[in-house]
Structure 1
Amino acid sequence: MTQAQLAARVGVSRETVRAWETGRTTPRGRKGEAYARLLDALAGGEGDVTARQAAEAGSLVRSTEAGGGPSGAAQQDGPPVAEKAAGKKAADETAVGETAVGETAVGETAVEEEAVTGEATGPAGLTPAQAFDALYAFCAPALVRQTYLLTGRRDLARESVERAFQRAWEHWPEVARDPDPAGWVRAAAYEYALSPWQRFRLRHRHPEPPPADPSARVLLSVLRRLPPPHRRTLLLYDGVGLNLPETAAETEATTPATANRLLRAREAVAARLPELADPGELHRKLGEAASAEQLRAAGAPAVRTGSERRARFWTRAAIAFTVALIGTTALTLRTAPTRYEPPVPAGETVRGVPPRVAPGALSDEELRLRAALREEWRSGPDRLVPLAR
């Protein structure tokens, strides 16, 4: 069941159901009882809830809002609530139809995000791999085309989307709990695609073949001349269909700064292409330019295995680096001296000392004294006693 269907059967708004499922609020009172009764009926193996159970749940909620008994409140407020539920159901069917028809348009992500949030990650029993594959199947095709409009490069668009989903799989518990998982992946893909380091890659220095459609070629050329923040803001607001606060939050800018970027980007596009001064025409043209290219994303299992292989590689590299660092530290501790050894200073020339005089030849008296000392050599202490001559 989608969030809209669940909200219609319980008798609350879709935002309330989303707040319950994301954990921002907790269902209480009769609404909580109706919600619990509906979940018990689904978990009991009954499949779809019968009309009687849905009517009981709706009457229980309406009685709380009206302050009366369950049956009386149901009879009093039945037609307006039924009309509201029918209106919500019609709106949901219209959104699903727009997603099916506009599958190749740029703004399909805004519609698909609701389906991913309500259907792909909502039902209990989905494994993380199945939930990831559902998110990838809904978002990857449109996200590749959006990234192509953002960069003008087909290979970079595919690589950016794959790297974004690889990061999402690495941080899947965080992404699964996020209120907008498609927005999480889109922001990661845009950040990677607009990274300034991409210009230093050899294969990105040469331009790719332009689109075959002349109008798409001109529009893509105009978009590439915009500054990256202006280009991203224009694509999110006029292409994807986000509102101004959501665009400001995703681009990490203030709302006035985002509005200024949007106005400047529209002025730049209208200066080159006056027929696109109307935002509606610009949105349509962006969708046509994105759908003109046959861009195929890789399969979800290949992305998951690539993410796991990349994580294993970096884990082993970190372990190897840690082991090398430990070995280097141990070798340093083993060979380092344990006490301080002062360095030997270099020799210096000492000035002011008289030069050493070498002894000259002995005189006759000194020769006779030496001969007498050698002949009268004594041993023992007596040899130290001087003798007078």
Structure 2
Amino acid sequence: MTQSPATPLPAPKERRRLRESRSLTQADMATRLGVSRATVRSWEAGRSAPRGRMREAYTRLLTADPADARPEMNTPQEDVTPELVGAGRGAGKRRSARVGERPRRNRAEERLAEGWLTEDGHSRLPEPSLTPAQAFDALYAFCAPALVRQAYLLTGRRELARESVERAFQEAWYRWPEVAVDPDPAGWVRATAYEYALSPWHRLRPRYRHPEAPPSGAADRALLDVLLELPPVYRRTLVLYDGVGLGLPETAAETEASTPAAANRVLHAREAVAARLPELSSPQDLHRRLTELASAERLRAAKPRTVRWYGERRAQQWTRAAIAFTVLLIGVTALTLGTAPDHYEAPLAPPETIHGLPPKAAPGPLSSAELKLRARLRAQEMNGPERLIPENR
């Protein structure tokens, strides 16, 4: 659906300027339109553009007089066009569910009901009176079970899936002041867990050189093999879009790609799955099978207190290592300063050959005449010759 010439859509930079001129934040705009903040950010960055009724409502909200601006109806954004991701999606509201979670509603309504958004669209903790540890435990209990199952779809390894989620939450606890005020703390943890799970350095670890036991069902093994044959970025996009149930702009923003690129990845991933498993050519069937595959394995996450304790212990170890390295560096510097010369010493000149000097005299071998004389002298008496007595005259 195209936009009417009477209400043209402003340029991406102009959209942000118009929003700021009306003293509206991205969260306010997302709440009024019934979309996520990532979607509004994607519109203003030019990675995507609203369509249909959402385009009209977004343009009217930007160009309307600030005094007349009022919340619009929560009209969901149209889904990907059939030419990009297949005709199975349709043009209505998406009804897909998160992997291992309940079916999702309108994103703003769902996050408001879960307690992650206030009435004005700003992010907050589940309860203002909660301590940081209690808020972290609430976030962990809400996200960890589903994230472990999603990480299993990405890696095919149960232990690596649990480790990825635990490392992500440990990083979140280490940066909790930043995560607590993030508009989407669950998305922050999910992106961190996905990055760790898909890291290519795991193949160098000895414990991950051998494959784990595959799922017990033949259909589950076939689907998991197809997923693991996909490139990591295609696998991540497919899990986010068809498994978790994110919208296309949110999927593109989380995978750091443009909306057409994310749609193209979903299309190729679906084609690869349908080529091996024709019964999963429908997006609804693919979503259902992904949910069943993730739920078939008994994947349990650790307790939140254990995750926090390991996170704090790792932070202490890194701190101690940094302190020890600093002390070692200071000691080496002090030793160098103490042993280094404090004045300039000219280097010794290299030796040179001197010509024109007479050779050094030294006794040589005796001749035959000298040898005879020495033998005769040694044979004579030690008294010597007779003394000569002078005559008196």
* TM-score interval, normalised by the smaller of the two chains: 0.5 to 0.7
Give 2:276's aligned residue: 272
Task: Choose from 280, 297, 304 the match for 1:300.
Answer: 304
Scaled by the length of structure 2, the TM-score of the pair is 0.64
* Structure 1 position 104 matched with structure 2 position 100: yes
* Structure 1 position 251 matched with structure 2 position 267: no
Q: Deviations over 1:7-55 (max 9, x none)?
A: xxxxx99815999xxxx9xxxxxxxxxxxxxxxxxxxxxxxxxxxxxxx
Q: How do residues 1-389 of structure 1 correspond to structure 2 at under 5 angstroms?
A: 15=31, 104-105=100-101, 115=114, 117-118=116-117, 121-349=125-353, 353-358=355-360
Q: What's the offset of the Cα at 1:358?
A: 4.6
- Determine if contact 1:106/1:290 at 8 Å carries over to the other structure: no
CA distance 1:161–1:355, change in 2 (3 Å): same
Amino acid at match of 1:233: T
- Determine if contact 2:173/2:311 at 8 Å carries over to the other structure: yes
CA distance 1:225–1:103, change in 2 (3 Å): closer
Give 1:30's aligned residue: none
The CA distance in 2 between the partners of 1:296 and 1:108, in whole Å, is 23
Q: What's the offset of the Cα at 1:248?
A: 1.1
Amino acid at match of 2:261: A
CA distance 1:240–1:328, change in 2 (3 Å): same
Which 4+ runs in 1 deviate beyond 4 A? Answer: 16-19, 64-67, 105-114, 357-361
Q: Percent identical across equivalent pairs?
A: 62
- Determine if contact 2:99/2:243 at 8 Å carries over to the other structure: no
Amino acid at match of 1:295: L
- Determine if contact 2:99/2:291 at 8 Å carries over to the other structure: no
CA distance 1:107–1:305, change in 2 (3 Å): farther
The CA distance in 2 between the partners of 1:360 and 1:271, in whole Å, is 102
The CA distance in 2 between the partners of 1:336 and 1:109, in whole Å, is 72
Scaled by the length of structure 1, the TM-score of the pair is 0.64
Q: What's the offset of the Cα at 1:191?
A: 0.3
Q: What's the offset of the Cα at 1:208?
A: 0.3
Q: Deviations over 1:38-97 (max 9, x none)?
A: xxxxxxxxxxxxxxxxxxxxxxxxxx9899xxxxxxxxxxxxx9xx99xxxxxxxxxxxx
- Determine if contact 1:160/1:192 at 8 Å carries over to the other structure: yes
- Determine if contact 1:105/1:288 at 8 Å carries over to the other structure: no
The CA distance in 2 between the partners of 1:183 and 1:211, in whole Å, is 28
- Determine if contact 1:108/1:142 at 8 Å carries over to the other structure: no
CA distance 1:103–1:304, change in 2 (3 Å): same
Q: What's the offset of the Cα at 1:345?
A: 4.4
Q: Which moved more, 1:298-307 or 1:341-350?
A: 341-350
The CA distance in 2 between the partners of 1:200 and 1:146, in whole Å, is 23
The CA distance in 2 between the partners of 1:150 and 1:222, in whole Å, is 11
- Determine if contact 1:149/1:220 at 8 Å carries over to the other structure: yes
- Determine if contact 2:115/2:125 at 8 Å carries over to the other structure: yes
Where does the alignment leave 5 or more consecutive residues of structure 2 unmatched? 1-27, 41-66, 75-95, 119-123, 364-393
The CA distance in 2 between the partners of 1:294 and 1:155, in whole Å, is 11
Q: What's the offset of the Cα at 1:103?
A: 8.0
Q: What's the offset of the Cα at 1:108?
A: 6.8
The CA distance in 2 between the partners of 1:173 and 1:243, in whole Å, is 28
Task: Compute the RMSD of aligned alpha carbons.
Answer: 3.4
